Chains A and B, each alone.
Chain A
Amino acid sequence: LAKTTQPISMDSYEGQEVNITCSHNNIATNDYITWYQQFPSQGPRFIIQGYKTKVTNEVASLFIPADRKSSTLSLPRVSLSDTAVYYCLVGDLLGGYNKLIFGAGTRLAVHP
């Protein structure tokens, strides 16, 4: 299972763009990269998933370089409600649901 490394915490202000980078040096060929958001006392919520290059949805963008050894979650114009813990996970989700191991995550604090 590919191990992930993220910054423990980040601070930002409302309206700014936030980029959270995750390292996954031993990612396997079949692994996808998935980011989850978790608020206190709630289960994680899916944000975005990608395999390579760039993926964008209504809430975030995911940038994955060609070597796939890292990925960057980009949150445009954050608000106070984006204060949460963000987890980067790597796994072969389409291959029979191998278990996902959570790393420490990044605790994002958005300030007024």
Chain B
Amino acid sequence: GAVVSQHPSWVICKSGTSVKIECRSLDFQATTMFWYRQFPKQSLMLMATSNEGSKATYEQGVEKDKFLINHASLTLSTLTVTSAHPEDSSFYICSAGGRSTGELFFGEGSRLTVL
């Protein structure tokens, strides 16, 4: 079946650096992808909607200059956490939909730890 893959699965970085997380749809084209973040013992919180070829749509309270999203092709969306700080440490998850089935597929998630 359809698969969404994220890379890296985990990353540790120093405070002040930027980290890029990739989300790929492996066997289907995704014009829309979604980025979520999840803190321990909490639910997924939608951060933004990534649209191929246009600007991402951010949810209220999510800083667009902090979390840069690029959806340059129909199979790839990237999330860059700029000038990361310890409070940005979280589990980041992307999802993409297969248009024919109406099903949303989720990536394996990327765990970011900022020291």
Q: Interface on A for B, CB 8 Å cutoff? A: 32, 34, 36, 41-46, 49, 87, 93-94, 96-97, 99-105
Contact = CB atoms under 8 A, between A and B. Distances in A.
Given A93-B97, A102-B45, A42 B108 contact: yes
A100 B107 contact: no
Contacts of A105: 43
B102 A44 contact: no
B25 interface: no
28 contacts: A32-B102, A34-B104, A41-B91, A41-B109, A42-B109, A43-B93, A43-B107, A43-B109, A44-B44, A45-B106, A46-B103, A46-B104, A49-B102, A87-B43, A87-B44, A94-B102, A97-B32, A97-B97, A97-B99, A99-B34, A99-B46, A100-B95, A100-B104, A101-B46, A102-B44, A102-B45, A103-B43, A105-B43
Interface in B61-115: 91, 93, 95, 97, 99, 102-109, 111
Is the contact region of chain A dominated by helix, strand, or loop, or is it mixed? loop
B52 to A, nearest CB: 12
Contacts of A97: 32, 97, 99, 104
Contacts of B49: 99
B36 A102 contact: yes
A64 B99 CA distance: 24
Interface SS of chain B: helix, strand, loop or mixed?
A: strand
A103 B43 CA distance: 7
B91 to A, nearest CB: 7
B104 to A, nearest CB: 6
Contact of B103 (A42, A93, A96, A104): A93
Nearest to A46: B103
Contacts of A36: 106
A104 B43 contact: yes
B49, B99, B106: residue with the most chain A Cβ atoms closer than 10 Å: B106
Contacts of B111: 41
B106 A44 contact: yes
